[in-house]
Amino acid sequence: GAIGAIAVEPKEIEHSDAKYRTKRDAEDKRGGRLFVGTARGLYYTDNRGIDWIESKEVHGSPIGGIVINPYDTDQVFLFEGWTTLDDEIEPLLATGESLASERRVWVSQDRGENFKEVKYEKTKGYRRVYSLVIDPIEPSTLYLGAHSGAYKSTNSGKSWKRLDDPKGAKSGVRDTERGDGCRGIDLSADGKTLVGVFVDGEDNTLPFVSDTKRHRWEPIGEGLPRRAAGGGGGRWNRGGGNNNNEYAFPRFLATDASEVPQILLGQLSGQRLGLYRGTVAEEKKELKATWEVICANPSGEGDTNFKFDMGWTRGPFRVRAIDISPAAWGKQSIWISTTETVLVGNPRANGFPYTSQSWKDITTKGVGGGEGERTSATTKGLQANDIKSFTSSGSYRAAGTSDNGIIESFDGGKNWSRAQNPEQFSTNIEALAAFEDRQTMVLAATRLPAFRGADERTVLSAKSLLNKNNSDEWVAIGGGRQNLSGLPSDSIRKIAPNPHAAGQVALALSSGVYWTINVVGIKDGDGGSWQEITKGSGIAGADIADLVFDPSNGETLWAAARGKKAGIWRGEYSNKKWKWSQVESVKNAERVGKLAVWKHNDATMIALTLAPAGRDQAEILLSRNGSEEFSSLWSTAQAEEYVKAPWLELKGARENLAFTAITARGDDLFVSLGDLQAKRGLGVFRLKVLGNGQAIVQPYNGTGPGEIQQRLATVLSVIGSGANSTLYAALPGAGLAKRTLDDFIASAKIAKTE
């Protein structure tokens, strides 16, 4: 989970792929107008969000930033494009570059009522803009920092001229995934000095300054952390691994024109991550900057002097966005977003930046814990974990994230612990399961992401919950380099404890099904091992997408398999052997998705999600009894009858629409529908399954303040029973949401079986 951007004044605030730029026209005496830039256009409201108006001119455009001229609030500027510089999260946003747009800006002279397209570069191609700044002395002068370079306008954005690159920097841009050119630009309070970060001919990111008259760039990066020792002579290098350093989004700190110029620079990758402050001075008619680290991880090597509380965050201290509080606020403050934390700094605090008063985490607050420590933290609403797995047992809750380890709750989800990682170098949690076996046990499968290194082995770890905090020790019980306890290090898709037999656990791997009858013995070193139970069967070596024990019979397993014989398989245990048979075949193995297996009216109900492929749309197959044939219950085409979304009209949107999560309870089936690749969805639906193979459908997003904001779930789970039942939804980039199951409100339509 990562907070992508932050802004304090009328500036940018990034929330998610769906809504990630906002700005309020705070200076307008006619009443504040709030603008929201989304991945698909711009909206504004004049009554604090009660009614929203869409800008027709920019419909479908990814709005990367909104700038209102503080000297003439009728002028509104938009720039497009959104991608990422961060090598940690870039692989999770494979479509980021597709959200970048043409080399253009949008200009309004009437408070955003109408916009006119202005191209700053006629060259075709999807490139993003990083920043647009207005000259405080000459408000009709604008500067633009973009992939293709730095630009200047002297007529309020009506036309643009490209500034010369720094000597040795790239001319223009290459069509690369991460982009080149200018990584951001800013202007000093007196309007005399520009600062920009440029990518040079050797892919180095360097900060430069220039006066606004000659536009002659001078390097000021000497003294910033360089490449690790022995890594190419210490030359500057672009990010992407190997402890290289990458910088972006420079900001001038001083708001008083009489002060010595200071520049803030965030580091996105490299050996010493953090926030840097450069003090600029002239030496022998050349501008130089003296750099110092003013914010870094308090527990990081070499940066132990920092004393502030980082909440539950344990990820790398990447500075992804910077902003400065406006002069009207009085005391100046620095706002930054790190891997998933928003910090506010007071540069005038005694002992800045090392004292505890220097920086404050505003995203979490501590609860519990003894003196000098904090065992738990509760969110203030800004956490944005990319959750891949979720589990519960009693009052215990755990969520596994794709890049921040495991967060846990020991009081039913009221408070959550700081993140932890069973494996030292892996924060990517593939699967989780909690269950009762003499005491509560938790199993976690961790895997080093491909972008973190070549060693992608999965390790299965376990712990017993002896304390009501996250201090219990994790023990590796399978996989890894040594294939511990007979378990290979292949990806683990699902951990399935047997609810009918203590100690039995089955695992869905990318290479088959494994199980043990003594998981406690493996953890405690008292015996036990993992055995492949699909070997020699029709699904030997298959990629098992999902796995569930039959709710009525602990000697029956249901598996969703991909491979030559893709489909639903039933495993039956008899005479100390597992025998597998296929109960439903799927022609295209890539369509096989998630299983829901549950008991209703003494029958085993089975549902399988199928992904879209070619002309085949996504659908749900249902069997009302394990021995009964499967039929199509619902499809994506039918879902559009209940929820409308403008983005469905975009090219290719319907083809990627899929069921992203599924769970069931009684005669209720809960599903989420959306496009995981583009991080957008139609929300959660509640299907009341009827005895004739049909379903009554209720959109389950909620209304008003209780509406689910990110309409895409990767995990759905029902906890509790009867009136105490709660539906949990894991939302990409928006953390966990929950809803108490209320009475079913029937839709006017019944989904017909196709």
Average pLDDT over residues 421-425: 69
Distance (Å, rounded) from C-alpha 606 to C-alpha 600? Answer: 10
Taking Cα atoms as reference points, which of 466, 463, 412, 421 lies closest to residue 442?
463
Contacts 24+ apart (CB under 8 A), 482-485: 484/459, 484/460, 485/516, 485/522, 485/528, 485/529, 485/530
- Residue 204 pLDDT class (50, 70, 90 cuts): low
Q: Is the pTM of this model over 0.85?
A: no
How far is residue 429's CA from residue 576's CA, in Å, rounded to a whole number? Answer: 32
CA–CA distances in Å: residue 585 to residues 168, 594, 636: 60, 15, 21
Contact at 8 Å (CB) between 40 and 647?
yes
Least confident of 310-319, 342-351, 472-481, 667-676: 310-319
Determine the Cα–Cα distance for residues 429 and 446; give it in Å rounded to an integer.
Answer: 5
Predicted confidence band of residue 247 (pLDDT cuts 50, 70, 90) = confident
- Left, alpha or beta for 179 (phi > 0: left; psi -120 to 50: alpha)? left
Question: Given a cut of 80, is residue 7 above it in pLDDT?
Answer: no
The pLDDT of residue 489 is 92
The tokens describing 475, both together, are: 């023990």
Instruction: Verify cis geometry, omega within 30 degrees of 0, for the bond prior to 353.
Output: yes
589: which DSSP letter? G
Report the relative pairing of strands 129-134 and 631-635 from DSSP bridges: unpaired
Calculate the alpha carbon distances from 578 to 446, 457, 520, 537, 565 in Å: 27, 27, 22, 9, 18
Percent of the chain with pLDDT over 90: 35
* Order of strands, sheet of 680-689, starting from the edge strand that comes earlier in the sequence: 658-665, 668-675, 680-689, 695-699, 750-751
pLDDT of residue 319: 82
pLDDT at 453: 42
Q: What are phi and psi of 519, to 5 degrees?
A: -70, -30
Q: What is the DSSP string of 394-441?
A: TTEEEEEESSS-EEEESSTTSSBPPPB-SSTT---EEEEEEEEESEEE
Nearest to 657 by CA among 667, 665, 649: 649
> pLDDT digit string (tens) for 327-378?
677 788 999 887 667 889 998 899 999 888 899 888 766 555 443 344 445 5
Segment 401-416 shows an average pLDDT of 81
- How far is C-alpha 52 from the geometric centre of its chain's CA atoms? 26
Task: Please name which of 341, 365, 371, 370 lies closest in space to residue 414, comparing C-alpha atoms.
Answer: 365
More confident residue, 549 or 737: 549
pLDDT class of 544 with cuts at 50, 70, 90: very high
Least confident of 85-99, 133-147, 441-455, 464-478: 85-99
| Range scoring the smallest mean pLDDT among 121-130, 133-142, 176-185, 534-543 | 176-185
Report which of 584, 609, 587 is spatially closest to residue 596, judged by C-alpha positions.
609
Write the CB contacts of 345 (distance below 8 Å, at least 6 apart in sequence). Answer: 294, 295, 333, 334, 335, 336, 352, 353, 358, 359, 360
Query: Which residues are bridge partners to 514 per DSSP?
Result: 507, 532
Confidence of residue 242 (pLDDT cuts 50, 70, 90): very low
Mean pLDDT of 437-461: 74
- Write the class of the CATH domain 1-163: mainly beta
Give the domain ranges of the chain.
1-163, 187-362
How far is residue 640's CA from residue 134's CA, in Å, rounded to a whole number?
44
Least confident of 246-255, 371-380, 475-484, 649-658: 371-380
The pLDDT, as a whole number, for residue 468 is 74
The confidence score (pLDDT) of residue 233 equals: 30
Q: Is 594 helix (H, G, I), strand (E, B) or coil?
A: strand
pLDDT in tens, 279-323: 888 777 777 888 988 998 886 555 568 888 776 555 667 787 788
Kindly indicate the confidence band of residue 709, based on its pLDDT and cuts at 50, 70 and 90.
low
Indicate whether 64 pLDDT > 50: yes
User: What are the helix (H) ranges across 487-644?
Assistant: 519-524, 636-639
Task: Report d(CA 247, CA 195) in Å as an integer.
Answer: 13
Residues ≥6 apart with Cβ < 8 Å to 443: 431, 432, 433, 434, 460, 461, 462, 477, 495, 497, 505, 519
pLDDT category, 202, cuts 50, 70, 90? low
All residues at 6 or more sequence positions from 384 whose CB lies less than 8 Å from its CB, including other chains: 1, 2, 3, 16, 340, 733, 734, 735
pLDDT exceeds 60 at position 450:
no
At position 385, the amino acid (one-letter code) is N
Q: Would you call 195 helix, strand, or coil by DSSP? A: strand
State residue 97 phi and psi, 5-degree precision: -65, -30
Q: DSSP state, 99?
A: G
Residue 315 is predicted with a pLDDT of 61
Residue 370, judged by CB atoms within 10 A of its CB (0-12, 13-18, 19+), counts as exposed
Predicted pLDDT at 594: 96
> Edge-to-edge strands of the sheet including 531-532?
492-497, 505-509, 512-516, 531-532
Per-residue pLDDT band at 23 (split at 50, 70, 90): low
The dihedral through the CA atoms of 666, 667, 668, 673 has a sign that is: positive
pLDDT at 146: 86
Average pLDDT of the chain is 79
Kindly indicate the confidence band of residue 384, based on its pLDDT and cuts at 50, 70 and 90. Answer: low
Average pLDDT, stretch 652-680? 88
Phi-psi region of 499 (alpha: psi -120 to 50; beta: other; left: phi over 0): alpha
Q: What is the mean pLDDT of residues 676-691?
A: 85
What is the pLDDT, as a whole number, of residue 124?
Answer: 64
What pLDDT score was predicted for residue 385?
62
Is residue 683's pLDDT more than 60?
Answer: yes
State how far the Cα of 18 lies from the Cα of 12, in Å rounded to an integer. 14
The DSSP H or E segment spanning 547 is strand 543-550
Tokens of 421: 């990682």
Identify the three-state secondary structure at position 7: coil
Q: What is the DSSP letter of 93?
A: G
Q: Residues 422, 444: contact at Cβ < 8 Å?
A: yes
pLDDT digits (tens, 9 = 90+) for 493-532: 999 999 999 899 999 999 999 999 999 999 999 888 999 9
pLDDT confidence tier of residue 270, bands split at 50, 70 and 90: low
The SS3 of residue 659 is: strand
Are 222 and 278 in contact by the 8 Å Cβ rule? The answer is no
pLDDT reported for residue 753: 33
Which of 235-244, 468-477, 512-521, 568-577 has the lowest average pLDDT?
A: 235-244
- How far apart CA 711 and CA 735 sit, in angstroms, is 12
Q: How confident is the model at residue 46 (pLDDT cuts 50, 70, 90)?
A: confident
DSSP annotation of 294 reads E
Give residue 241's pLDDT. Answer: 36
Under a CB-based contact definition with an 8 Å cutoff, are residues 234 and 226 in contact? yes
Q: Which residues have a Cβ under 8 Å from the Cβ of 700 and sit 6 or more positions away?
A: 670, 683, 684, 685, 686, 727, 739
Q: Can you give the pLDDT at residue 459?
A: 92
pLDDT of residue 427 exceeding 90: no
Using the structure block, give the residue that is written with the tokens 């399978």.
Answer: 478
Percent of the chain beyond pLDDT 70? 75
pLDDT at 692: 82
Higher-scoring residue by pLDDT: 689, 743: 689
pLDDT of residue 267 exceeding 70: yes
DSSP class of 223: T
Q: Angle at Cα 91 formed by Cα 6 and Cα 125, nearest 5°?
A: 80
- Cα–Cα dist 181/194, whole Å: 16
User: Does residue 179 surpass a pLDDT of 70?
Assistant: no
pLDDT, residue 490, reads 93
Q: Are strands 34-38 and 619-623 parallel, antiparallel or unpaired?
A: unpaired
Averaged over 87-99, what is the pLDDT? 39
Residue that wins the pLDDT comparison between 405 and 178:
405
Instruction: Examine the pLDDT at 236 and tell me if it is beyond 50.
Output: no
DSSP class per residue in 112-132 = TSS-EEEES--S-S-B-EEEE
Q: Any residues with CB less than 8 A from the CB of 303 and at least 6 apart, and which?
A: 272, 274, 293, 296, 297
Distance spanning both ends of the chain, measured CA to CA: 38
